[in-house]
Amino acid sequence: MSFSGKYEVESQENYDAFMKQIGIPDEHIKKGRDFKYTTEVIQKGNEFTWSQIYPGHTTTNKFVVGQESEMATMGGKKFKTTVKLEGGKIVVDFPNYHHTSEIANGKLVETSVCGGITFKRISKKIA
């Protein structure tokens, strides 16, 4: 299944609690709470360029499934990890949370778990 496309946030569950749990400052949580940012994914086989586009700022992670890659967290911290593909889901262990991404019913569904808090973001495909 291809993840390629441009997606806009449609809904989020447990945003505030999760962001606090992973240490995002309150002013950043407030700014990002209702912003409909976009995610752009370019997939060529097992190679991905995954960008989250905010006003005035874009975070881009490039990775190859099964190979160690340097990535950045939501807070901009760099780390190394090996991205996996399991059952059609992209699986990433960030330094303090576990993240999966999948395409379900034509939408990008991202789920992050930290300390018993599950954050879910659903984005609709716009391009």
Residue-wise pLDDT for 117-127, tens only, equals 999 999 999 99
pTM value is 0.91
Concatenate the DSSP letters of all residues of 21-82 into one string. HTT--HHHHHHHHS---EEEEEEETTEEEEEEEETTEEEEEEEETTSEEEEE-TT--EEEEE
- The predicted structure's pLDDT at residue 45: 95
More confident residue, 117 or 25: 117
- Write down the pLDDT at residue 34: 74
Residue 1: pLDDT band with limits 50, 70, 90: low
DSSP 100-122: EEEEETTEEEEEEEETTEEEEEE
pLDDT value, residue 108: 98
Question: What per-residue confidence (pLDDT) applies to 35?
Answer: 78
Of residues 38 and 34, the one with the higher pLDDT is 38
Tell me, what's the pLDDT at 7?
97
Q: Which residues does residue 115 pair with via DSSP β-bridges, in sequence order?
A: none
Per-residue pLDDT at 33: 81
Over residues 48-100, the pLDDT tens digits come to: 999 998 877 888 999 999 999 999 886 778 999 999 999 999 999 988 899 99
